[in-house]
Amino acid sequence: MNGKTDSAAFILGIFIMLGLGILGWQLASAALKYKSFERTVAVKGLSEREYPADVVIWTLKFSVAENDITKLYIEMERNVSKIKAFLLNNGLNESEISVSVPAISDVYANQYGTDRRPEYRYTSRQAVTVYSSKVESVRSLMTQTGELGKEGLVLTGNEYEAPAEYIFTRLNEVKPQMIEEATKAAREVAQKFAGDSGSRLGKIKSASQGQFTISARDTNNPHIKSLRVVSTVEYYLSD
C-alpha cells in the first residue's frame, strides 16, 4: 500500500515539476517578447512659420501744462479732437479709437521743501489709443504724426517708451497644419534613427504637443510674427 502511495506521490511531483518548468519557460518567453516590444525611440519635430500680425495697438500720448484749470481742460479736449480728426480722416473708425481718463496733477499741492514755484500749477497727461485690424494703414499713420505737430500738438514718449503692440489672433486657424508638420518632421527623424540602427519603426507609443510660441521676427519688424511649436513623439522599434 505504501509503495503505491509513494509511486503516486513521485509521479505527481514529476508533473508538478514539469508544469513549473513549462510555466517558467512561458514567463521567460513572454518577458523577452515584452522587452523586445518595449524598444522605443523618442524624437522631436519642429514647425516654424511667419505670419503678419492682424491687430495693432497704438497709443498716442500728450501732456498739457496750465495755471488755469479750466483752460487746462479746454486744451486737453482740443488735443483729443485733433488726434481723433487725424485718425478718422486717414481711414480709421470711431470704434477703433478710445480716449483715456486724464491724469491731472496740482504741482503746488505736491511741492515740498522749496519756496520757488514752477511756472505752471497744473499738468495733465492723456492718451488716445488705436485698436485696429488695419495694421498696414496704422503703420503708415505712425510716420505721419508730424501733421499733428504742425497743428501745435506735441506727442510725448517715443517708440521705446510706448511702442506699438502687434498681435496675431489666428493661431487656432494655423495650429492643425503646424502640428501636422511637426509630427511629420519627428517621424522623419525617427525613421532615420531606426534605419541607422537596423530596426523598423513601429506605431506611436506616446506623443505630446509642445507650447506654441509667438514672437516678433526681429526688433525691426515687430509686425511680422514668428510662430513655433515642437512636438515630442515616442515610437516603438522592432527588428
106/121 Cα distance (integer angstroms):
6
CATH class of 55-166: alpha beta
Per-residue pLDDT of the chain (239 residues; tens, 9 = 90+): 555 565 655 555 555 565 555 545 454 444 444 445 568 889 999 999 999 999 999 999 999 999 999 999 999 999 999 999 999 999 999 999 999 999 999 888 766 656 677 788 999 999 999 999 999 999 999 999 999 989 888 888 765 556 899 999 999 999 999 999 999 999 999 999 888 888 899 889 898 888 899 999 999 999 999 999 999 999 998 87
Q: Is the pTM of this model over 0.95?
A: no
Helices (H) and strands (E) in the chain, counts: 5, 10
From the options 3.20.20.70, 3.40.1190.20, 3.40.190.10, 3.30.110.170, give the CATH code of 39-54+168-239.
3.30.110.170
Q: Which residues are CB-contacts of 230 (< 8 A; sequence separation ≥ 6)? A: 44, 45, 46, 182, 210
DSSP state of 96: G
Q: What does the alpha-carbon distance between residue 47 and residue 77 come to, in Å, rounded to a whole number?
A: 50
- CA 216 to each of CA 7, 126, 167, 179: distance values in angstroms, whole numbers, following the listed order: 88, 28, 10, 20
